[in-house]
Amino acid sequence: MAKEPKTQDGAATGAAAPGAKPTKRKKEFKKKREKRVVPHGIVYVTATFNNTMITITDTEGRSLCWSSAGSVGFKGSRKGTPYAAQQASATAAAAARDQYGLKSVEVRVKGPGSGRESAVRALASVGVHIVHIKDITPIPHNGCRPPKKRRV
């Protein structure tokens, strides 16, 4: 490691003088984002036994907003209730309607949870027009091999 040569007052040559003010940079102003208007979108409702998640995307699949029973404020076993799913769905739909001007949606429901139907009903009650509802729950074609039989 090479040492920097010191001047007579003891400061290194590369350092700024102690009384000098640092130079000010001009502030760069970022352009305001254009408000994206998405009249038609896709709502993905993922209803598990423990929670319900709602994601609203545009037609290409870019996420606009999302909500879940947990993010609305429910904790523990109450997250899996139909009422929690209804609140989460209404929150996400209202945000998408206000921010992006969402008017009509396709609904894709996935999972076995109890919040499936109530989440879809909440979308309609917020004032979003539902074009069609599709169930995309993955169904195994005979699935995984079961565990071996117990010998007692």
Position 32 scores a pLDDT of: 76
pLDDT band at 47 (very low <50, low <70, confident <90, very high): very high
Q: Find all residues with CB under 8 Å of 110, minimum gap 6, and list them.
A: 44, 45, 46, 47, 135, 136, 137, 138
pLDDT at 131 over 80: yes
Domains belonging to the chain, first-starting first, are: 40-135 (3.30.420.80)
Reference 72, options 55, 56, 57, 90; nearest CA is 90
Rounded CA separation 39/114 (Å): 29
Is residue 14 exposed (0-12), middle (13-18) or buried (19+ Cβ within 10 Å)? exposed
> Binning pLDDT at 50, 70 and 90, where does residue 16 land?
low
Averaged pLDDT, 80-84:
97
Answer positive or negative: Cα dihedral of 123, 70, 95, 100.
Answer: negative
- List the beta bridge partners of residue 44: 55, 108
In single-letter form, the type of residue at position 146 comes to P
Does the reported pTM lie above 0.95? no
- The percentage of residues in the chain with a pLDDT greater than 90, rounded to a whole number, is 75
Q: Is residue 89 a contact partner of residue 122, using CB atoms and an 8 Å limit? A: yes
Beta strands (DSSP E) in the chain are 40-47, 52-58, 63-68, 104-110, 129-135
